[in-house]
Amino acid sequence: MQAHQLLIQHGDNPAAMTRRLLERSGVRQEIKPGMKVGLKPNLVMAKPASEGATTHVSIVRALVETLQEWGITDITIMESAWVGDSTRKAFKVCGYEALAQETNVKLLDLKTAPTVTLQAGSLKLKVCKAPLEVDYLINLPVMKGHCQTRMTCALKNMKGCIPDTEKSRYHTIGLHEPIAAVNTLLKQNLILVDALNGDLTYEGGGSPVPLNRLILGKDPVLVDAWAARFMGYQMEEIEHVALAAAKGVGSGDLTQAEILQEGKATGKIDQKAIRGDAAAFKRYIDERSACSACYATVIHALRQLEHQGKLTQLKETLAVGQGFQGILGPGLGIGTCAAGLEQHVDGCPPDPEAIVAFLEAYLRDSH
């Protein structure tokens, strides 16, 4: 796998999706027996992954088992919960304590780990030694929103590799610059993004959106540029991503990226899973046996319209789901299943940007 490539896997089985991505990537050629491998999930707090804030343990379990099948015996899962929360509690609540016991991998609470001070441009930054000392570092962020930086994914997940005192200092000097700078020190060899059901509004979860996909990449800037676009932002709007690109951490040029998608999520949407602020968008959707990935992209597109102040102009509901297959006539159809309606946007699932553009054009023409 090369730095300009992103592999996206859609589906309903996170473990199988993880194994398939590893197979597609060819990274087995890079990870050799005898290597020390570090895994850095997002366990920002002691909250189950179903809430949209933390990395699903099923992904990490499949990764660990695959690495062990490849002959890797020295594996450490390392993390530091946010200031004021217990990493040990997060390990337990999120299922990592059981995983470690069952697979004989190590858990490391970076809150208590040794640190070193390094120079990153004009900044002196303290970082934990452990992620610097592994031979291969795999970052396992959750793609989700953030109340201060708009989004968090690969680059910001490295903030879990610094001591709590440093986390607090980042907020006093401005988050974006030190986040970008610390990524010049902490080198990620592989990024496996949990985009199964991240909360696209808040890093602490509570409003999960079932996107049912995983993303694999080697360039954290490219990964974050794709995530930013998916969430309705230009890379430049997420300052730490643009700064990281300027510092040479990676490239955010999506026009030069090779994005390879595979699989399909067929699980139907569970309306009970749509809660928090995401539930407010239900009244704009006529859902009939919709797959969760398709429904979630519609919610995300509607949220973008709301941010633009245009959502209240939408008077017609959006048709989504397999119940619209074969139906012809007037209406606004979203996705391949609703392609028989007079106005529709195709895709299985459709791209959120395409839905937003479609709705913007519809609102413009109808006014």
Domain residue limits, the chain = 5-263, 271-366
Report the predicted TM-score, pTM, of the whole model to 2 decimal places.
Answer: 0.83
Residues with Cβ within 8 Å of 97's Cβ and at least 6 positions away in sequence, in order, are: 91, 107
Q: What is the pLDDT of residue 205?
A: 86
pLDDT in tens, 177-220: 999 999 999 999 999 999 999 988 878 888 888 899 999 999 99
pLDDT in tens, 43-94: 999 999 999 999 999 999 999 999 999 999 999 999 999 888 899 999 999 9
pLDDT band at 160 (very low <50, low <70, confident <90, very high): very high
- Angstrom distance (rounded) from CA 70 to CA 301: 41
- Angstrom distance (rounded) from CA 290 to CA 286: 10
Q: What is the pLDDT of residue 222?
A: 99
Distances, alpha carbon 204 to alpha carbons 40, 82, 199, in Å: 17, 10, 8
| Residue whose tokens read 């490295």 | 158
CA 204, distance to chain mean position in Å, is 14
Q: What is the pLDDT of residue 9?
A: 97
pLDDT in tens, 295-323: 777 887 888 888 889 989 999 999 998 89
pLDDT band at 276 (very low <50, low <70, confident <90, very high): low
Judge whether residue 176 has pLDDT over 70. yes
Q: What is the pLDDT of residue 173?
A: 87
Judge whether residue 292 has pLDDT over 70. no
Q: What is the mean pLDDT of the chain?
A: 92
Class of domain 5-263 as given by CATH = alpha beta
Judge whether residue 113 has pLDDT over 80. yes
- Angstrom distance (rounded) from CA 217 to CA 258: 11
Choice between 325 and 281, residue whose per-residue pLDDT is larger? 325
